Amino acid sequence: MSATAVASAALLAGALGAPATAADRTPSATPLKMTVSLRADLLKEAKADTATTARALGLGAQEELHVKDVVKDRDGTVHTRYDRTYQGLRVLGGDLIVHTAKSGKQLGVNRASKAELSLDTSPKTLKAAPKGATKVVWAPRATSPVLAYETVAKSVKKDGTPSELHTVTDAASGKRLARWDGVETGLGHSEYNGDVEIGTSPSSGGGFELTDADRGGHKTYNLDNSSAGTGALVTDDDDEWGDGTPDDPQTAAVDAAYGAAETWDYYKDVHGRSGIAGDGKGATSRVHYGNNYVNAFWQDSCFCMTYGDGAGNAAPLTALDVAAHEMSHGVTAATAGLIYSGESGGLNEATSDIMATAVEFYSNTDEDPGDYLIGEKIDINGDGSPLRYMDEPSKDGASRDYWSSDLGNTDVHYSSGPANHFFYLLSEGSGAKTVNGVDYDSPTYDDSTVTGIGIDKAAQVWFKALSEYMTSTTDYADARAATLSAAGDLYGEDSAEYQAVDAAWAAINVS
Ligand SMILES: [Ca+2]
Ligand SMILES: [Ca+2]
Ligand SMILES: [Ca+2]
Ligand SMILES: [Zn+2]
C-alpha cells in the first residue's frame, strides 16, 4: 500500500473522476447542478417571501419561518426547507419543506410535526430553567407541542470521544423528553487508497499546505495526539506527501484529504450539491486525534471531521467509507436534520452508511473498490471482518435486519440496520450475488424476491428523499413515504423503480 500522494493545486482541477452518467439519461426530477450563486439567489428569494409563505401555509401570527436549505430540480421544481420559531423560540420539530412547481404553484408540504402551535411561552408556573438552558418549543411527531428547555452538556467520554449531549426537558414538569448526542461517531479505519492526487496550495511562507482550493478551501490539520484545539495545518516543502505507512504522520493526512475530496466531488457531480452544507464552503479535517483512539467523528459545531490513529496508533481511521460516513452526517444535519435518537437516529446513521457506500462505488480505486460493507479496511474486530454488513445487517451480531415496533429503543448504529438492508435490496436485489468480488446473500422478511435497480438509482432515490422529503422527526414509515415520493418524481409512479422501492421496504417489514 504505497500511498505517496503527488499533487499540486495546479494539477488538480477536475482531475478526480467525473461520473459516467450522461446528462441526457438523467431524469428531470434530479437536482440541478447548483452553483453557489444560484443557491444564494434561491435562498434570497425564499427569505424575502417567508412571511407570505408562513401565511399561505396557515401558520399563526406568532410563527416565523427561517430558510435552511433549498434544492432546485432540473424541471424547475423548488424544494425549500424551513426551520420555525414560535414567539421567537426555536421549535424543535417545527421544520417543514415546501415544494413549488416552476409555474409557482405549490405542490405540497412535508411537516416534521402537523400539530398546531398555540401555547403560553411565559406561564406563571414554570420549573426553574436548568443551567445554560435555552427555552424552546418541543414539537415531536406524535404528541402535542410543549414548552421545553434544551441544554447542551459538553464533555469527553472514557474512550476520548467528545460529547455534546442535548437534553430536552418539559418546562412545566421537569420531565426529560429527549436526549441525543451532537457528536456523531461511527467507525474506525485504517488508511488506504494507493497513490492519489490531493488538493494542495502554496504556503505563504514558502512550500505547500493541505488546503484544497478546488473544494471550498478544505483544510487538513495535525493534532499531534492532542485531543483539543485545531492542531497545525499540515505543510510540506516539496508537495509530495506521506509514504503510504503510518510511520509518516503525513500519510493519515493524505487519506483524510482524499476522503474529503471524494466526498465533495460525489455530492457535487452526482447530486449537484456544493459542499456539505451546500454553501460551497469546505470543512476541516483533523488527524492524529488523542492516543490509540479507535474511532472518527463529525462535529457540526466546528464543521469538522476528526480521526484517531487506531489501536497502537498504527492504523489511522481514515479510510474512505469512514470519511464519507462522517461527512454525510454533516449533509444530514444541513438537510433533513434527522434527530439522533429513536427511529430517526437509526435513519440518520443509515444515511451515512448509504451515502458512504455510494461515495466508495464512485471513487472505486483498485485498493478500495465499492462494496456493501462498512469499515472493511479497518480490521477493527481483529479477524478481518467489517464493522457492518448491508445485505444482512445481523451478521455483525447486533444490528437488526427488519423493522419492528421496538426498533427505536436500540442504539442508532443498530437501528440503522433495516434501512441499510433496504438500500442493499433496492440496489442489488435479494438472494445470492457477487459484486466486485464480494459475495452477498440478502434475505427478505416475507421471503419475497426483490429485483434491484442498481446503486446509482438507489442513491438518487435516497438522497432526494433525504434532501427534499425527510424532516427531523422522520421514522421508518415516513422514510418509506419519502423514498416513494422521490422515486415517483424521478421515474414515475408506474415505473419499475417505484415498484422496487415499495418491494424493498416490504422486504424489511415496512409497508
Ligand atoms: Ca514531502
Ligand atoms: Ca471497499
Ligand atoms: Ca465499504
Ligand atoms: Zn455515524
How far, in Å, is the centroid of ligand 4 from the Cα of 322?
Answer: 9
Residue spans of the chain under pLDDT 70 = 1-25, 158-160, 182-192
Question: Residue 26's closest CA among 489, 506, 499?
Answer: 489
CA distances from 106 to 102, 114, 182, 474, 481 (A): 9, 18, 34, 22, 19
pLDDT of the residue at 191: 54
pLDDT of the residue at 380: 80
The one-letter amino acid at 215: R
The CA-based dihedral angle spanning residues 152, 153, 158, 161, taken in that order and rounded to the nearest 10 degrees? 40
- Residue 157 phi, psi dihedral angles, 5° rounding: -75, 170
Cα torsion angle, 492, 498, 499, 502, sign: negative
Name the one residue in this structure whose C-alpha cell is 406568532. 62
**3-class DSSP state for residue 442?**
strand
How far, in Å, is the centroid of ligand 1 from the Cα of 46?
Answer: 47
| Interatomic CA distance for residues 366 and 225, integer angstroms | 31
What's this model's pTM, rounded to 2 decimal places?
A: 0.82
Residues with Cβ within 8 Å of 315's Cβ and at least 6 positions away in sequence, in order, are 188, 189, 190, 191, 246, 309, 378, 379
Residues with CB under 5 A from ligand 1 (ion): 236, 238, 240
pLDDT of the residue at 14: 22
Answer yes or no: are the C-beta atoms of 231 and 221 closer than 8 Å: yes
How far, in Å, is the centroid of ligand 3 from the Cα of 387?
Answer: 9
| Interatomic CA distance for residues 282 and 339, integer angstroms | 24
The neighbour count for residue 238, using CB atoms within 10 Å, is 8
**Cell numbers at 88, concatenated:** 421567537
- Residue 258 phi, psi dihedral angles, 5° rounding: -65, -45
Q: pLDDT of 396-425, one tens digit each?
A: 999 999 999 999 999 898 999 999 999 999
The one-letter amino acid at 403: W
Ligand nearest 192 Cα, by number?
2
Chain centroid to CA 14: 24
Residues with Cβ within 8 Å of 137's Cβ and at least 6 positions away in sequence, in order, are 86, 89, 90, 91, 92, 94, 117, 119, 121, 145, 146, 147, 148
| 383, containing H or E segment | none
| Interatomic CA distance for residues 424 and 422, integer angstroms | 6
Q: Which of 288, 325, 329, 413 is catalytic?
A: 413
DSSP structure string for 62-109: TEEEEEEEEEEBTTS-EEEEEEEEETTEEEET--EEEEE-TTS-EEEE
The neighbour count for residue 204, using CB atoms within 10 Å, is 7
Q: Which of 150, 191, 326, 349 is catalytic?
A: 326
Question: Residue 311's closest CA among 333, 285, 291, 325?
Answer: 291
pLDDT of the residue at 13: 19
Burial class of residue 275, CB neighbours in 10 A (0-12, 13-18, 19+): buried
The one-letter amino acid at 307: Y
**3-class DSSP state for residue 388?**
strand
How far, in Å, is the centroid of ligand 2 from the Cα of 360?
Answer: 6
Ligand nearest 8 Cα, by number?
1
How far, in Å, is the centroid of ligand 4 from the Cα of 258?
Answer: 19
Residues with CB under 5 A from ligand 3 (ion): 321, 360, 371, 373, 376
**3-class DSSP state for residue 268?**
helix
Active site residue 493: no
Active site residue 349: no
Ligand nearest 375 Cα, by number?
3
Helices and strands, number each (H, E), in the chain: 11, 25
How far, in Å, is the centroid of ligand 1 from the Cα of 13?
Answer: 21
How far, in Å, is the centroid of ligand 3 from the Cα of 498?
Answer: 26
| Interatomic CA distance for residues 6 and 200, integer angstroms | 10
Question: Residue 182's closest CA among 302, 285, 96, 6?
Answer: 302
